[in-house]
Amino acid sequence: MKIRNAYPQEAEQLTRLALRSKSYWGYDDSFMLACKSALTVERQNLESDSSLFQVYILNNAIVGFYGLEFKNNTAELDYLFVEPEAMGKGVGKYLLNHAIKSLKSRGIALLEILSDPGAKAFYLACGAEYVGLRNSDAIKGRQLPYLKLMVSESTLA
């Protein structure tokens, strides 16, 4: 296993992985269609200096990835997705830990997370603090758990 930078030509592959991972939570086809644009990884995101995308490689295949967007002294976790068959095997925690280490090395103090309701318990178990609900970027009227993780206080990294 290893983690490396995502390549721009992997944008479509990462989008498909994000959609498979999201569908793990049992959403129907209309819901998945509604959130497709929000889960789409654009090539320019992978080339941007204001973001960081890392992929988790196992047996020469991408089984997970994360994407961070940097904003002043904070970062937003825009993506953290794991192949459904790799869920529950530590891949997500490893990716989040790697993201925290990356943030610490950049001197970034706060990670903001707008979470799928099904993933909220994962982030809480990793030390994030539940702040409240925020509007979904993808579906009008949908509220999602909003969490914050103080990078400097995290015991993950």
90-142: pLDDT as tens digits: 999 999 999 999 999 999 999 999 999 989 999 999 999 999 999 988 888 99
For the entire predicted model, the pTM comes to 0.93
Q: Are 6 and 46 in contact (CB under 8 A)?
A: yes
What is the set of domains in the chain, with CATH numbers? 2-153 (3.40.630.30)
> Which residues contact residue 112 at a Cβ distance below 8 angstroms, ignoring those fewer than 6 apart?
74, 75, 76, 77, 146, 147, 148
Torsion of CA 129, 133, 137, 142, to 10 degrees: 140
Q: How confident is the model at residue 17 (pLDDT cuts 50, 70, 90)?
A: very high
> Tokens in use for 145?
């758990």
pLDDT for the residue numbered 137: 81
pLDDT in tens, 29-41: 999 999 999 999 9
